[in-house]
Chains A and B, each alone.
Chain A
Amino acid sequence: MKNNDERAREILNNTEIPEEVSPKNMKKMLDEKAPAKKRSRISVVGRITAAAAACAVIVGGTVGAMGLAERSKQNTKNQRQEMIKVESSSEASGTVEQAKAAPYMSGAESYEQVYELLAKANEQALNERGKQFGGVFTDGALVNGAIEMESPEAAMDMETAEFDKTAVQGADNSALYGGMGGGASEEPNDFVAVPVEDPTETEYTINTCKPIPTEAPTEAENPTEAEEPTEPAETEEPTEEPTEDTETEDDYSKTHNQEDEVLEADIAKTDGERIYYVCSKYSESDECLKSMMNVAAVDNGSFTETYQLDLTPDAVPEGDGWMTNITVNDMYLYNDLITVIGTANSYRNGWTVYGDDYKGEDFYEMDDMCFVSFYTKESDPQLVGTYYQDGRYNDVRIAPDGYMYLMTNYDTMLFNEIGGAECVDEYIPKCGVSERECIPPSDILLPGDTLDNSSILSYTVIGSVDLTASGEFSPCETKALAGYSGSLYSSANNLYTTVGWEDTDITRIAIGGGQIVPEASGTIEGYVKDQFSMSEYDGYFRVASTVDKWTNNGNFVTSMLDIDVESEHISDNRVYVLDMEMNIVGSVGGFGENETVKSVSFNGNMGYVVTYEQTDPLFAIDLSDPTEPFITDEFKILGYSTYMQQWDDGLLLGFGADADENGVETGVKLVMFDNSDPYDLKEVGLYSVNGDAEANEYVYSDAQWERKALLIAPEKNLIGMPVVVSEWGDEYREESKYMFFAYENGEFILRGELSSETDFDKYGEDVLNRAVYIGGYVYVLSGGRFISADIETMTQTDEVLFN
């Protein structure tokens, strides 16, 4: 018996998809129509630019009438002031940066320099695209603020002609609004059908400059030197040891750190007295997603006190009509602070701005920033403050010296949408505590005098926050690496960022005392999967990569028809050794052909790499001579590991997907490798949990994509993994459980499991996905409940629910 949900799905799915909407035809349609449509959009931007140009004339006059001293003190929120700000910050910054400039990557002299680089990159990208479309885009005029509306192609269909006509009319209106402050129009097209209440709020102005809520630029010029208020705190510091990971006697579990002293964040933490868990959950009463922190005080397997803290209000930045969703990603307990890290995604469109009856042209805008809220670590946590940094949360570390480094990825809109060099906050990332300010030009690091051809400028933004004083935080420095966006690995003294697919650029950034100093960069072939593919050891940087070569490169039809066919591309894997100048000194490749890197574990002079196609070859690589790494052994079993961690001397624990001989994934598994002899790898223990496919039963684990969901505690001989068993039988049933194992005499012994029926409607909120131990008890956690059990017997001792 199927339920009606299934049937309804069946009915909806039971439709022929007409050839008309096939990807192939859509591609054709795009190639025909997109250039014209885009041209019409270019015209739209042209209107705005014209308005800005009109504005610029006025500014010129204003500046002339104002004294220099007055300029920098102005703090009104209008475009003219913003333009002044740009000017004066560029004057001052050039000299400051000279001293700091590294030969390969130096700070920008001004925002305009950044803008011009992007303009150039955009022009090149457009030329490339022009070739692709068989025509040439000429929007260079945009940069100069002129309106370009002539269409080079004469042959246009009716629809295209309409687009351009609309654009022309719109252009006039916009110039009117922008230059003269508004006025209604009776043009009978879509644009003017907008319910115009305040002309500055119409869609024409949506993409123009937003005023930056910043102080005068001179004050923001050099935050590094300006903000050193931590001196007194640092002198007191020896008496106030940071509270995480410093006392080795603690009898509770901690987030496993890839590098011993470099602390990593997670959604769940404990200090041995309380358990903290952050999550986003649906609030029935408020009808929206809320970010919550669930906290429970524990005492020998009992929950003695619980509370929930709504993180949302502390994380939402100033509103101005945007719809904001808060997602909480990670947290720390460090130096008497609870630190919560998340992302605030804001969006607006026609309906959110003008209401339900909006009939104008569709538009969508998004604004993403990362927030870090700090709370006092008490039974009643109080907000200390929130730090904002533009971009999407990527990763974070706390270095051994007590400074936090937050990395976000920030992309601008398409160059055409930016609206001119004066719209600084459209292409320069911002950060700050109460109000976000544009990062000063000198802290925007340029990769040279060109950017890759692109209409979008991507940045990696790295901000450091001083956490050395107990219960306090203080932002130190922010650097934005222009034309750059990737993943992060951190040793105690260096951050490494990677970016790229076919080739990966790696940049080493020295850290210490809150300073962020890019020192060297280099390039390797292939892409880097994650942080565990990288390692710094003994003055060398080791990195594993997969080279993906597409056999059907450029052939659209084949690439599309076979999109999911692995054999479409040829892969090859590498391990490189680089010196601290990021020069390759040695490499080994050619292993795991047609397979991709699934997990890597570096351990001293050895590296272990799992690649996968159908079986799980584990390669051991000897790296003791950096110039001559070589493979010592290869060992194959079914399935593959998504994560590996050294369990004990000579034992490497793997967790991942189990699969049958045909490479069909059947469930999850734990595997122990004996790596005591790198020339003779062995499997010494395997435990798999497989679903019964015939009974429509499927098994997966959150740990397959989040290794922190595992609890790996050799000191307690305890391995924990979450498993979800779902059954699509007569009715849908889903069970979430957390399984605990001991490893003894070459096998995994199941010590017990704690489970919880999940409510499918809650979309995963109930799934048990973390576990910690404190003393003689384990605690299994989900967004909806905490369960405690005796560590020896695995019998449940207590449970608490969080709504």
Chain B
Amino acid sequence: MKNDFTEDVRLARNGDSAAFARLYTLVYKDMYRIALYSLRSTHDACDAVSDTVLDAFCTIGKLKDEKAFRGWIMRILSAKIKRKQRDYFADTVELTDDVEPAVDFDCEISELKHAMDNLEPRSRLILSLTVLEGYSSSEVAEIIGENANTVRSVLARTKKTLRLELT
């Protein structure tokens, strides 16, 4: 572990885009995966991620705790995703599932994948934050700005549907 992580936050706050990009390397894969799974469109996912990056870079001055970087950028990402999801509802956009699995899954996996694909948008965001980032429901609640109770019940439902072990 390098310990110049917080140093990069400091540099980024002073407008160093290279430092910000270094921080971004730590989180971008998960960010993209959460966005993709939540939005089901590679185009929208890329948009959400780059909107997040731009906003985050421009407001990183307000991030006081360097160590909170990850949670903070996830919070911005969640906001972007929620906004796009709201647009989906508003415009009743026909969702085109353009995500192709990169490898062949075995039977059990494809069953799970099918179940995961059929989750509603909010569950998707909550599930991906939980699975990929390992956040607890209260942490997810804080990140997506929703009631902890709501998150817990959504997660409980999802868990049951997918037969997951996580809380």
Residues of A within 8 A of B (CB): 3-5, 7-18, 20-24, 26-27, 29-31, 33-34, 37-38, 41, 125-126, 129, 132, 282, 287-289, 323, 325, 345, 349-352, 356, 359, 362-368, 392, 411, 413-414, 416-417, 453-456, 501, 548, 556, 559-560, 563-564, 731-732, 761, 763
Contact = CB atoms under 8 A, between A and B. Distances in A.
A41 B166 contact: no
Nearest to B144: A351
B116 A11 contact: yes
B76 interface: yes
A38 B138 CA distance: 33
A362 B146 contact: no
Nearest to A391: B64
Given A13-B132, A129-B14, A288 B22 contact: no
Contact of B49 (A14, A21, A363, A548): A21
B53 interface: yes
8 contacts: A7-B109, A18-B32, A21-B46, A29-B50, A350-B79, A411-B64, A453-B14, A563-B22
Interface string B156-167: 000000111111
A349 B101 contact: no
B113 interface: yes
Contacts of B57: 30, 34
Interface string B37-48: 100001001100
B93 interface: no
A122 B122 CA distance: 41
A548 B7 CA distance: 13
A17 B76 CA distance: 20
A484 B16 CA distance: 20
A37 B57 CA distance: 10
B150 to A, nearest CB: 10
Nearest to B53: A26
B18 A556 contact: yes
Contacts of A556: 18, 21
Interface string B84-110: 000000000000000101110100110
Contact of A364 (B34, B62, B149, B152): B62
Interface string B19-61: 0111011001101111011000010011001100111011101
Interface in B117-167: 127-128, 131-132, 136, 138, 142, 145-146, 148-149, 152, 162-167
Given A8-B162, A287-B148, A564-B2, 10 more contacts: A4-B162, A9-B131, A26-B50, A37-B58, A364-B59, A364-B72, A364-B75, A368-B65, A417-B61, A455-B13
A288 B127 contact: no
Contact of B138 (A125, A289, A564): A289
A564 B79 CA distance: 30
B14 A12 contact: no
Given A14-B102, A413-B62, A761 B167 contact: yes
Given A364-B62, A366-B63, A560-B22, A287 B131 contact: no
Contacts of B20: 27, 30
Nearest to A1: B108
A27 B20 CA distance: 8
B132 A456 contact: no
Given A23-B28, A41-B58, A559 B64 contact: no
Contacts of A548: 4
B112 A26 contact: no
A564 B2 CA distance: 8
Nearest to B25: A23
B109 A30 contact: no
B64 A368 contact: yes
Nearest to B158: A8
Contacts of B29: 17
Contacts of B53: 26, 29-30
A10 B13 CA distance: 34
Nearest to A122: B14
A414 B61 contact: yes
A414 B62 contact: yes
Contacts of A365: 62
Tell which of B17, B20, B24, B42 has the most Cβ of chain A within 10 Å: B17
Contacts of B24: 23, 26
A726 to B, nearest CB: 13
Nearest to A410: B64
Tell which of B21, B54, B131 has the most Cβ of chain A within 10 Å: B21
Given A13-B33, A30-B17, A364-B62, A282 B103 contact: no
B46 A20 contact: yes
A15 B165 CA distance: 23
Contacts of A564: 2
A288 B149 CA distance: 10
Nearest to A732: B165
A352 B58 contact: no
Tell which of B7, B15, B79, B164 has the most Cβ of chain A within 10 Å: B15
Contacts of B165: 3-5, 731-732
Contacts of A367: 64
A351 B141 CA distance: 12
A132 B64 contact: no
A12 B33 contact: yes
A367 B4 CA distance: 24
A15 B63 CA distance: 30
Contacts of B45: 21
A5 B112 contact: no
Contacts of A11: 101, 105, 109, 112-113, 116
Nearest to B109: A7
Contacts of A23: 21-22, 24-25, 28
A763 B136 contact: yes
B148 A125 contact: no
B112 A356 contact: no
A564 B3 CA distance: 11
Tell which of A125, A352, A416, A763 has the most Cβ of chain B within 10 Å: A763
Nearest to A25: B50
Nearest to B136: A763
A127 to B, nearest CB: 11
A414 B60 CA distance: 8
Nearest to B26: A563
Given A26-B53, A27-B18, A8 B131 contact: yes
B17 A345 contact: no
Tell which of A3, A15, A350, A366 has the most Cβ of chain B within 10 Å: A15
A288 B18 contact: no
Nearest to A502: B7
Contact of A8 (B15, B112, B146): B112
Contacts of B102: 14-16
A93 B22 CA distance: 44
Given A5-B131, A8-B116, A21 B28 contact: yes
Nearest to A485: B10
Contacts of A363: 59
A459 to B, nearest CB: 12
Tell which of A3, A362, A365 has the most Cβ of chain B within 10 Å: A362
B20 to A, nearest CB: 7
A368 B142 CA distance: 16
Contact of B145 (A31, A132, A351): A351
Nearest to A529: B3
A665 B23 CA distance: 24
Nearest to B18: A556
Contact of A21 (B32, B59, B65, B149): B32
Contacts of A413: 61-62, 64
A29 B53 CA distance: 9
Contacts of B33: 12-13, 15, 17
B13 A456 contact: yes
A364 B76 contact: yes
A17 B21 contact: no
Contacts of A352: 145
Nearest to A365: B62
A30 B109 CA distance: 38
Contact of B166 (A5, A350, A351, A455): A5
A204 to B, nearest CB: 16
